[in-house]
Amino acid sequence: MKEAIFGAGCFWGVENRFGKIKGVVETEVGYTGGSTKNPTYKDVCTNKTGHAEVVKITYDPSIVSYEELLELFWDIHNPTTLNRQGWDTGTQYRSAVFYNNEEQHLSAIKLKEKLDKSGKYKKPIVTEIVPAAEYYKAEEYHQKYHEKNK
């Protein structure tokens, strides 16, 4: 099994989408990319922690590739808006790929460049591509939120 970590706005919907992909064996929402240790949702919402809302995905690479996960990541949110997804604004909603190794890093850069050149978006992609940092699991009421709150 391998892991991927993506920030694409509010983590509830992002987790729900990735959880439906064949080959994804587990999803978990949390916070990463900031400096505050053990942040809470309330802390992250202050826009002062530096953390993004993220989804950590555990997947079987024999069924789904990291590149396929990246393609879905860029399809399910607007990667051209800085610190904003829809009505949600703040650095916690930024578009970000938190890579775990050089292979993920290069794959993310390559696909981002390909998308930028494709003309799919009218504005440049602002997605951060940064090394994975310390990850903190979000509170239990955020986990599988859409499943719990149909």
Q: Which residues are catalytic?
A: 10
Output the pLDDT for position 93.
97
The pTM of the full predicted model, rounded to 2 decimals, is: 0.96
Fold of 2-143: Peptide Methionine Sulfoxide Reductase; Chain A (3.30.1060)
Distance CA 144, CA 80 (A): 27
Identify which has the larger pLDDT, 86 or 52.
52
**The amino acid at 130:** V
Task: Name the pLDDT band for 123 (thresholds 50, 70, 90).
Answer: very high
Rounded to an integer, the average pLDDT of 52-71 is: 98
Q: Report CA torsion sign: 146, 13, 86, 38.
A: positive
